Amino acid sequence: MKSLSHIFLIIITVSSSYSFSSEEDKSFQEQSMLSVLYVQTSTEFAANNIQTFTNATKVLEMALHDSSWTAALEQKDNFKDKPPAIIIDVDETVLDNSPFQSRTILSGLSYPNGWSDWVNESNADAVEGVYDFLNFAEDNGVEIFYLTNRLESFRDATKKNLINLGLPFKNDDMLLMRKEENSRDKTERRKLIADKNRIILIIGDQLTDFISTKEAYVFHTDRKKLAAKYSDMWGTKWFMITNPTYGRWELSIYEDMPSSEEMATEIRKNTLKP
């Protein structure tokens, strides 16, 4: 598989934003308008999320009664007697940040512009279906770990948002955040959870919520093969929330980071299959 780590490093270096996003010309950000409207207005999107969490609830009951069950690639042995736990991503899996995405369209400026303001408002709604799922898990004695790539500086605001929504939050150990600006891999944090718990389910909206960045950061034609590689995990131990608004899936279409809005748009068009 062809690694695209160099592209992601470039992205991080420029503060994870397109240098050609502009308040004067908003056309590039406006390309995501329909995907954001799909998230905010589509009954189909809401139903898909409810369906995912409903199925995850059913699997959770099965996994609790099978001590040989683990959902983490990082968990190898000696886990049968460990207390059960789930790992769940935060952004677009628990918290709906589509209002922030709307702001980027209206302003013409991309992430991270305005992100800290949005997070510190602690006003994101819950993704459909997640409230019942998480409270069911807590009621059945399952440890919940919110594993997020939000920076540690957003801990208080994130905690406040989760609590305001009535989601389980009994201590700060439940919330594992990103310590370093340029490190997005979640593998080591999954290992920390696996050391003390039997991980029975993982839920997220990005490939890297389940596997390493090393494996996930490849060109889109190779990246798509990973769905088949882990076909025995999807819908049984791993549950993917659809996120059409942003993600590494987009960056994977670029073999080289586009230097302009026009180049990025042209690459997008050339990647389409008519």
- pLDDT surpassing 60 at residue 32: yes
pLDDT computed for residue 41 by the predictor: 98
Reported pTM:
0.93
And the tokens for 240?
Answer: 């993917």
H/E element holding 147? Answer: strand 143-151
pLDDT in tens, 169-214: 999 999 999 999 888 999 999 999 999 999 999 999 999 999 999 9
Q: What percent of the chain has pLDDT over 90?
A: 81
Q: Which CATH architecture has domain 5-19+51-97+124-268?
A: 3-Layer(aba) Sandwich (3.40)
Residue 3: band (very low, low, confident or very high) from pLDDT cuts 50, 70, 90: low
pLDDT computed for residue 17 by the predictor: 45
| Contact predicate 124/184, CB 8 Å | no
Closest among 153, 162, 82, 174 to 124, alpha carbons compared: 162
- pLDDT surpassing 90 at residue 35: yes
pLDDT computed for residue 21 by the predictor: 65
- Choice among 24-38, 81-95, 135-149 with the minimum mean pLDDT: 24-38
What are the helix (H) ranges across 140-258? 155-164, 187-196, 213-216, 220-223, 225-229, 248-251
- pLDDT surpassing 70 at residue 18: no
And the tokens for 170?
Answer: 């009994």
pLDDT computed for residue 12 by the predictor: 42
**For 12-29, what is the mean pLDDT?**
61
User: Mean pLDDT in the chain?
Assistant: 92
- What letter does residue 96 receive in the DSSP assignment? E
**For 58-76, what is the mean pLDDT?**
97
CA dist 23 and 252 (Å) reads 26
Closest among 9, 139, 114, 128 to 61, alpha carbons compared: 139
pLDDT in tens, 74-127: 998 999 999 999 999 999 999 999 999 999 999 998 889 999 999 999 999 999
pLDDT computed for residue 138 by the predictor: 98
Backbone φ, ψ for residue 91 (5° rounding): -70, 125
What value does the CA radius of gyration of the chain take, rounded to a whole number of Å?
19
- Choice among 126-140, 216-230, 246-260 with the minimum mean pLDDT: 246-260
Closest among 127, 125, 126, 130 to 54, alpha carbons compared: 130
